[in-house]
Amino acid sequence: LHISALAATLLPVVLGLLTLLPHSILGKPAEEAANAGSSALLQRVKRGWVWNQFFVLEEYTGLEPLYIGKLHSDMDKGDGSIKYILTGEGAGTTFTIDDSTGDIHAIQRLDREVKAQYALRAQARNRLTDRPLEPESEFIVKIQDINDNEPKFLDGPYQASVPEMSKIGTSVIQLTATDADDPTYGNSARVVYSILEGQPYFSVDAKTGVVRVSLADMDRETRENYSVVIQAKDMGGQLGGLAGTTTINITLSDINDNPPMFDQRLYQMSIPESAPVGSVVGRIWAKDRDIGVNAEMRYSIIDGDGRDTFDISTDPTNLFGIITVKKPLDFEKKPSYTLKVEGANINVDPSLRYRGPFKDVTIVHVSVEDVDEPPVFDLPVYYIELPEDAEIGTMLKTVSARDPDAANNTVRYSIERSSDPDKFFYIEITSGSLMTVRWLDREEIGWHNITVLAMEMNNPSQIASVSVAIKVLDVNDNPPSLAHYLEAYVCETAKAGQLIQTVTAVDPDEPLGGQHFYYSLAPEAANNPNFTLKDNQDNTAWILTRRGGWSQQDQTIFYLPIVITDGEQPVQTSTSTLTIRVCSCDQKGNVMSCNAEAYSLPASLSRGALIAILACIFVLLVMILLMLSLRTHRKKPYLCDEEENVHENIVRYDDEGGGEEDTEAFDIAAMWNPREAHNHHLGKMRQDMLPEIESLSRYVPQACVMGGGGGGDSNVHGYVLAKLLEADMDPCAPPYDSLQTYAYEGEGSIAESLSSLQSGTSNTDHEYDYLNDWGPRFKKLAEMYGVLETNSPPLW
């Protein structure tokens, strides 16, 4: 084996060296020797170049340039007169030539996988004249392959899947490794596949690279994913070959090989009886170890007393069964239901039916919870017909509702006010009897749609409602009357028997047989000489003239009373008056004028004069209104003379009084003549104002009011005391001037200051006993702040 491998390796090297030997060493070819004798006859020109196709091994790693071959011309005598030139691919960069000897060397590392061959051109020239000695010729340098590239998986790592439970030999995936070496030379590119990881589940074909299942009945539910490592080795797998590996992630795809199974054999569910149709009761799940479409389920109720009351459907994922209400529930009628539910796979593989059955059954027990429900009416809607002449208090109907719960609570009735805003009806609260409380009129309201409420006595929040439609039936209670035309006209040129108006009647009543009206003239107008009436028996009548010769000068307006009677019971009759005007008409009968005053106006009074008179009257009225307006807006005096005298003596008490220095509120000269002042004012009482306070007389020194002497101060003091006495004795006299209140007010007086600004600085309690001496007007204040003296002697 080793000898064969060595020979296979050295053989191409030896062949390459033999081809590179110069022509002089190898000798002439055989055909040249055979034809040597005929050279004189043919005169064949001898070939000037001695060369052949060159071969060179890739990946040379020596330090010296790699010798490739030698170029030699027959004209080369070895004296250096010939110059060799090399051109073409890689000349000068990859390959160099000795211009004297013709030796060719590779100066760069060659790689067959990069470039497999090079095309070069050679020429021999005279070194001195640079004249070509031989025509330019082309030759090829081929790069010979060695095993320097390992196999590669270009698309790895790989993903693959295979159904679970697959048989042995089932193909999973085919791998192909690529070797960059020359597949036509040796075994460098011959690849062999083997598996490194993944036994005993999978295997690989050594030549084709097909990965197959090698273990039967692999179950996805047990293990789903496998990692397999595959190796590709060149040189036919022999020792020394290069290898590459890749990984395959193999997934077992699911098949429907597992039947579903409910996790519970009995489900307990509950739902209130008030749940509407379509409400969800609960959900169940038949679990399946498979996934995807293989786990999709279809649920159905196959038995039980609730098959008609409940329904089951599959949720959007096709995994769960949703139980819903199909019919209204009633705890009082049936408090519980039992359902037998089946869950089955939708997608079943026929080849795997032997692993079935692919369905399961469970029991669902549904309990209905009792709920306090609102009352229930006997009918979903009530319809009542009532004549419009029904008496007030007429009972229409009795609506009835009951409590559907076991407690059977008492029900109370009422009318929703928004449905009967005018309060035409009343319902008895306990019995539900509906009656009228107002007169009905079909012509105003033909239908009444009211809402009756029923409420549980013990739970007012439970309220039910029902609609009651009341149709008001027609009764012949309205008389007919003329429609539209209450005025007509007759031309002055009209003749006897001429039609002037066709009248019709209207009646708001609507009898079943239709309207039938009868017309006639009122008894007082039956024999009038001017007009007559003809009943056409089709609910219309004609007004005809009885004479001719009409004139506006004689009479302009005629009133014709017409009696209209309907044909229903009770018969209704009305009298309508038709106003007929006498008018001037043209030859075609068109009205020109119906105004008789136009013929009676004086000829001397024109229309312009009438307009002027009216304009004058209007201007006169406007002037009168302006004068009245100016008079009402004239300023009036606010006070009379007497009031001015009063206001001269009124002092504004906005601030604390000024004491004796305040002389603006009184005549100081009068105070210096107290006797005159006393004589002048004694017995003169003010009656226009009431006193507000009495004087502080208890703090005034006792002195004779009328006594003389004592100088000016005594005169002032006596005057003040006299005024105080006069004010105290007269309960109707007002404080005439400031002397009554402020004469002795201040810090230096006996009464001290009346200001409250510094009252908070004193720590002593105030005594208010003096309030008893201020008279009856301060009695209430004395009771609040002081001690009331009951039997105090008079002050003076």
Partnered with residue 363 across adjacent β-strands are: 266, 340
The CA dihedral of 288, 289, 291, 294, to the nearest 10 degrees, is: -60
Q: How confident is the model at residue 368 (pLDDT cuts 50, 70, 90)?
A: very high
State the Cα–Cα distance between residues 198 and 214, nearest whole angstrom.
10
The answer to whether residue 380 scores a pLDDT higher than 80 is yes
State the Cα–Cα distance between residues 290 and 219, nearest whole angstrom.
11
- The correct CATH number of 53-144 out of 2.60.40.60, 1.10.10.10, 3.40.50.150, 3.60.15.10 is 2.60.40.60
Q: How confident is the model at residue 3 (pLDDT cuts 50, 70, 90)?
A: very low
The answer to whether residue 231 scores a pLDDT higher than 50 is yes
The pLDDT assigned to 658 comes to 52
142 touches 117 (CB < 8 A): yes
Closest by CA position to 589, among listed 731, 697, 740, 488: 488
State the Cα–Cα distance between residues 586 and 592, nearest whole angstrom.
7
State the Cα–Cα distance between residues 464 and 405, nearest whole angstrom.
14
Partnered with residue 232 across adjacent β-strands are: 193, 244
Tokens of 785: 């702040």
Average confidence score pLDDT of the chain: 79
Task: Name the CATH topology of 481-593.
Answer: Immunoglobulin-like (2.60.40)
Position of tokens 């009011």? 705
The answer to whether residue 340 scores a pLDDT higher than 90 is yes
The pLDDT assigned to 337 comes to 96
State the Cα–Cα distance between residues 9 and 57, nearest whole angstrom.
11
Percentage of the chain surpassing pLDDT 70?
Answer: 76
Task: Name the CATH topology of 152-253.
Answer: Immunoglobulin-like (2.60.40)
Residue 224: exposed, middle, or buried by beta-carbon count in 10 A (0-12, 13-18, 19+)?
A: middle
Partnered with residue 300 across adjacent β-strands are: 342
pLDDT in tens, 169-204: 999 999 999 888 878 777 888 899 999 999 999 999
CB environment 112-135: b (16+ within 10 A), e (fewer)? beeeeebebebbbbebeeeeebbe
- For 391-414, what is the mean pLDDT? 90
290 touches 388 (CB < 8 A): no
Range in 120-129, 344-353, 413-422, 643-652 with the lowest mean pLDDT:
643-652
DSSP, collapsed to helix, strand or coil, labels residue 621 as: helix
Task: For residue 607, count other CB atoms closer than 10 A to its CB.
Answer: 8
The more confidently predicted of residues 598 and 355 is 355
- For 551-571, what is the mean pLDDT? 89
Rounded to an integer, what is the distance from CA 603 to the centroid of its chain? 82
Tokens of 328: 């209204």
State the Cα–Cα distance between residues 488 and 557, nearest whole angstrom.
10
| Whether the domain at 376-473 and the domain at 481-593 fall into the same CATH topology | yes
Tokens of 362: 């469970």
Closest by CA position to 463, among listed 415, 428, 407, 422: 415
The pLDDT assigned to 698 comes to 42
The pLDDT assigned to 455 comes to 94
The pLDDT assigned to 707 comes to 42
State the Cα–Cα distance between residues 401 and 379, nearest whole angstrom.
9
State the Cα–Cα distance between residues 136 and 129, nearest whole angstrom.
17
Please report how many Cα atoms fall inside a 13 Å half-sphere around the Cα of residue 65, on the Cβ side: 15
**What does pTM read for this prediction?**
0.43
Percentage of the chain surpassing pLDDT 90?
Answer: 39
The more confidently predicted of residues 16 and 785 is 785
DSSP, collapsed to helix, strand or coil, labels residue 82 as: strand
The answer to whether residue 149 scores a pLDDT higher than 90 is no
> 5 vs 11, 58, 143, 186, 242, CA distance in Å?
10, 19, 21, 10, 16
The more confidently predicted of residues 182 and 222 is 222
Q: What CATH number labels 261-369?
A: 2.60.40.60
Locate all alpha helices (DSSP H) within 427-506, ordered by sequence: none
Locate all alpha helices (DSSP H) within 602-754, ordered by sequence: 607-632, 641-648, 668-671, 674-681, 711-729, 739-742
The pLDDT assigned to 768 comes to 72
The pLDDT assigned to 747 comes to 59
The pLDDT assigned to 710 comes to 47
In this structure, the chain runs to a length of: 796
pLDDT in tens, 624-680: 999 988 887 765 554 444 444 444 455 555 555 555 555 555 555 555 554 544 444
Domains of the chain, by residue range, sit at 53-144, 152-253, 261-369, 376-473, 481-593
Three-state secondary structure string covering 773-793: HHCHHHHHHHHHHCCCCCCCC
State the Cα–Cα distance between residues 487 and 494, nearest whole angstrom.
17
Name residues whose C-beta falls within 8 Å of residue 505's C-beta, 6 or more positions apart in sequence.
480, 481, 482, 483, 517, 519, 539, 564
- For 728-749, what is the mean pLDDT? 58
Angle, alpha carbons 238-243-248 (nearest 5°): 125
The answer to whether residue 708 scores a pLDDT higher than 80 is no
Most confident of 74-83, 295-304, 348-357: 295-304
The pLDDT assigned to 315 comes to 92
Ramachandran quadrant class, 102 (left: phi over 0; alpha: psi -120 to 50; beta: rest): left
- CATH class, 376-473 region: mainly beta
> 224 vs 163, 216, 230, CA distance in Å?
10, 14, 20
The answer to whether residue 33 scores a pLDDT higher than 60 is no
Sheet holding 54-57, edge to edge: 54-57, 137-144, 117-126, 82-88
- For 510-515, what is the mean pLDDT? 84
